[in-house]
Amino acid sequence: MSEEPEAEVTEEETDAEEEQAPEEGLQEGDFVRLAYTARTVESDDLVDTTDAEVAEEEGIEDEGRDFEPRTIVLGAGHIFESVEEGIYGEEVGTEGTVVVPAEEAFGEYDPEEVRTVSADKIDEDDRYPGASVQVDGQQGYVETIIGGRARVDFNHPLAGDDIEYDYEVVEEVDDRTEKAEGLLGMYIDADLDMWIETDEEEEEVEGEDGETETETVEKETLYIESTPQLSMNQQWMFQKQQIAQDIIDRLDLDRVIVQETIDGGMGGMMGGMGGMMGGAGEADLEEALEDADVDEEELVEELEAEADEE
């Protein structure tokens, strides 16, 4: 019996196999920690950095932020597209320098975005050259003020500048909590405690017979411990739903729970009583207790006993 000749592989089949082969190196959707320093090409002005030494040299180390590599998602718009293109297919440890053109960075400079407005639209404290102002909901910078008119530049301060971007891919991030921290850090500069747990909950569902049944379901949840800094953050206040949904989608979670812990003691309990009484002073508090026929010493003893039990 003669052997069948081996099938000849065509060029089209080879190309198809290559297209189906898994891509190597870092790809869109990967989480990485990126160290970088970005400067304007023409004037060498610092735009941003994750390097503490560079921040110190530039005199910006006291801006209340941590200068360390940042966790970003490739393909999510967290960095310039030109930088991402240099990272795709590469490995951890890759270093590079990319010049990001102005149109991709902060846009070309548009002379028509320099407009004359009434000085009445600008707060009196901001009526000086260089002041950052909001006019009709648009951010701008005062160029000149003459009489009742102000010349305001509404271009981005870095419009028209090419940006030189030096970077290093420090590591790939696999831990989901670290990923969540990195995602939240793209929106809010805040040091928050967070963790992921799988919770079991009872839910009512409609059975095959149309009757309502109760079953146990698992909810994979990201817990975030809130802080006053987070509660007062304007971006969080106005975009919390969008931010949480982004985290849920990218980490395949069921929900995000932001919780607030209030530690209390005698001071907090008595302070709360004062607040309920409209901020009454000590004399007013004593008078109120007398009117309510409450023994102050007994009340304090009871509160102390409850605090000790806790």
Can you give the residue ranges of every domain in the chain? Answer: 31-105+161-172, 111-153, 176-259, 270-309
> Considering the domain 111-153 in this protein, what is its CATH number?
2.40.10
Q: Which of 16-25, 174-183, 212-221 has the lowest mean pLDDT?
A: 16-25
What is the token pair recorded at 198? 């799988």
State whether residue 182 is helix, strand or coil. Answer: helix
Domain 176-259 has CATH 3.30.70: yes
Q: What is the pLDDT of residues 151-203, one digit of tens each?
A: 999 999 999 999 999 999 999 999 999 999 999 988 888 789 999 999 988 88
Collect all residues with Cβ–Cβ distance below 8 Å to 135 and sequence separation of at least 6: 117, 121, 122, 152, 154
Residue-wise pLDDT tens digits, 54-106: 999 998 876 667 889 999 999 999 999 999 999 999 999 999 999 999 999 99
What topology does CATH give the domain 31-105+161-172?
A: Chitinase A; domain 3 (3.10.50)
- Reference 111, options 59, 57, 154; nearest CA is 154
Average confidence score pLDDT of the chain: 83
The SS3 of residue 105 is coil
Beta strands in the chain (DSSP E): 31-40, 46-49, 70-73, 95-100, 114-118, 132-135, 138-146, 149-153, 163-172, 194-206, 212-225, 255-259
